Amino acid sequence: AAGAAGGAALAQSNPVPTEGGDPNILNLPAHTTGLGQPVVTDGYGKPSQYEANVQRRQSPGLTQTAQASVSFAPLQSLFGIVTPSGLHFERHHQGWWDVDPSKHRLMVNGSDEKMVKSPKVFTMDEIMRLPSVSRFHFIECGANSGMEWGNVAVPTVQYTHGMISCSEFTGVPLKIILDLCGVDTKRGRYILAEGADGSSMTRTIPMEMVEDGSVLVAYGQNGEMLRPENGYPLRLVVPGVQGVSWVKYLRRIEVGDKPYAAKDEAVHYIDLMPGGLHRQYTSIQECKSVVTTPSGGQVLLDKGFFNISGLAWSGRGKIKRVDVSVDGGRNWRTARLETPVLDRSLTRFNIDWVWDGKPALIQSRATDESGYVQPTYGELRKVRGTRSIYHNHSIQTWLVQESGEVKNVQLS
């Protein structure tokens, strides 16, 4: 809930003053004529009281319990590519825990006795002594935008796209840890990652992604340790792959010769195709983008100049280009990409726009370095139907009405 200072926004005008000037300028405020607060008022600081509206939120009615549920990141209020850790989206299957790191252990073993030469146990101290890397990656839930497969269901970009976040992760390449244990990588083409929470979440990951160095055993997120909600003190980072595979509270890695068909890869995170067949082990998050400002539930108070801004990403590498349309996809202009543009990370795009006060249909369309172009709903549904839940990466449309109010719409 929003605090006193975080209530409904007040339309802020900047009229040409009639009486000589704006009182906010002519009457010096208290902070210009007084002494402020000391350093280390907070040893660990917080956002301004005026930012109380910027919160992660549940989507009403989406889940039946709050421990097997999701909270969405407020993309409409975020800048750049780093998601503040306090606003990182949450997805728990059996609730979150604040695990004592001095008692946490990581085990590596094999699916049979020959798979791993020397199964091992590591403390956090030991893991943090190993060679470490730091990399920016997005994490997106496979079900992000899932509510919108059939039709428009939610009003804002927080709910349509808020199961994505992006952080600088620090940790040890899993390859180093496996090498240390001695793994038969000829037979062992799969990894099982297992968490220490009640769900003891398990997911199968291909050995190729370990071998190419991209899978990390991570403890750091945006400069500090992972947050408890995100797996403190240890989680797997599987770049480009859906969030459920980024096992939290990571306690065990098993090397195996077959996939494991865990609950969240045999009952959920399976994509229902037209015809009734499910696709299993659909892991990669495809090329996608969304305009975050302006976006659904917002109001443009004026005609005139606006900066259209949004996010693009791909589980297949870097973003190559983002195009933006303000006429519902008839004509497109290429947006500026903010640097750095990184592998399997969010990319921020911006483009100029002068609003003439008439209805507008704003869209963005990303292309990744593999050449894949983000599809329209028509193109996506033609192949995958409307019941998949997962991997909805369609172009999003926002309707700017004459009143200035922005609505979530889908075009036919």
Maximum separation of any 2 CA atoms in the chain, in Å: 86
Interface of this chain with another protein, residues 66 to 85, rule: CB under 8 A: 67-68, 74, 76-77
Determine the interface stretch with another protein among 81-89, 133-141, 163-171, 194-202 (rule: CB under 8 A). 194-202
Which residue from 99, 100, 116 is spatially nearest to 108, judged by alpha carbons?
116
Interface of this chain with another protein, residues 8 to 67, rule: CB under 8 A: 8-12, 14-17, 20-22, 25-26, 28, 32-35, 50-51, 53-55, 57, 59-60, 64-65, 67
Interface of this chain with its own copies, residues 16 to 35, rule: CB under 8 A: 22, 24-25, 29, 31-35
Query: Is residue 2 within the footprint of another protein (CB under 8 A)?
Result: yes
DSSP 58-90: PPTTS-S-SSSEEEB--GGG--SSPPPGGG--E
- Residue 136 or residue 190: which is nearer to another protein going by CB? 190
H or E segment to which residue 265 belongs:
helix 263-266
Establish how many alpha carbons lie within 13 A of residue 297's alpha carbon, considering only the half-sphere containing its beta carbon.
Answer: 14
Q: How many residues bind another protein (CB under 8 A)?
A: 165
Which of Ca ion, its own copies, ligand HEC, none sits in contact with 411, Cβ below 5 to 8 A by type? none
- Residue 90 or residue 323: which is nearer to ligand HEC going by CB? 90
Distance linking the first and last C-alpha atoms of the chain: 37
Query: Is residue 391 within the footprint of Co ion (CB under 5 A)?
Result: no
Which of its own copies, Ca ion, another protein, none sits in contact with 147, Cβ below 5 to 8 A by type? none
Query: Is residue 130 within the footprint of its own copies (CB under 8 A)?
Result: yes
Which amino acid makes up residue 76? Q
Determine the interface stretch with Ca ion among 40-48, 248-256, 317-325, 343-351 (rule: CB under 5 A). 248-256
Task: Report how far residue 349's alpha carbon sits from residue 87's, in angstroms, rounded to the nearest whole number.
Answer: 21
- Residue 312 or residue 380: which is nearer to its own copies going by CB? 312
Please check whether residue 341 is in contact with residue 304, taking contact to mean a CB–CB distance below 8 angstroms.
no
> CA–CA distance from 378 to each of 180, 238, 244, 332, 374 (Å)?
49, 30, 28, 18, 12
Query: Is residue 86 within the footprint of another protein (CB under 8 A)?
Result: no
Interface of this chain with another protein, residues 336 to 355, rule: CB under 8 A: 352, 354
Residue 332, classed as helix, strand or coil, is: coil
Interface of this chain with another protein, residues 131 to 150, rule: CB under 8 A: none
H or E segment to which residue 398 belongs:
strand 397-400
Judged by the rule CB under 5 A, the positions of this chain that interact with Co ion are 91, 141, 143, 244
Judged by the rule CB under 5 A, the positions of this chain that interact with Ca ion are 254
